[in-house]
Structures are given as structure tokens and as C-alpha cells.
Amino acid sequence: MTGQIAVSVKTAAALTELSETTVRAAIDAQALPAFRVGRSIRIRTDELNDWFSSLVRVGSEEDR
């Protein structure tokens, strides 16, 4: 993804082409691990990649 270890919700949304609301919902549902640094939320890029890769693909058996 990037050379960074962790990214903000805004950057995670941009990298995955999802809305910030969707990324925050995944964090709230504990589907996407995140941590706080002060008042900001950070997501490790390896965990973002794992979560994004685990999403159901359109047209797959699981999508039906």
C-alpha cells in the first residue's frame, strides 16, 4: 500500500476508495483493528490490507 506503518482513517479510506464512514463502521464493528494516538485513530497498513482482502468479492459464492 504505502511505505507507512500506520495511516489515518482518511488515508485508509482514500487508499481503499471507500468512504471514511465505511472505514469507521468497520473499526466500530471490530472488523478492522485500529488504535488511538492522542485523539486520532490510526490503522496499521498490514491490518488494513488484510481486512480489505477479506471483503466478499462481487459475484463470488458468498455474494449470492
Domain total of the chain: 1
pTM score of the predicted model: 0.83
Give the domain extent around 33: 6-55
Q: Tally Cβ neighbours within 10 Å of residue 55.
A: 12
Q: Is 64 among the domain residues? A: no
For the cut 70, the answer to whether the pLDDT of residue 33 exceeds it is yes
Residue 61 inside a domain? The answer is no
Pairing of strands 6-8, 35-37: unpaired
pLDDT surpassing 80 at residue 22: yes
Would you say residue 58 has pLDDT above 90? no
- Structural domain includes residue 1: no
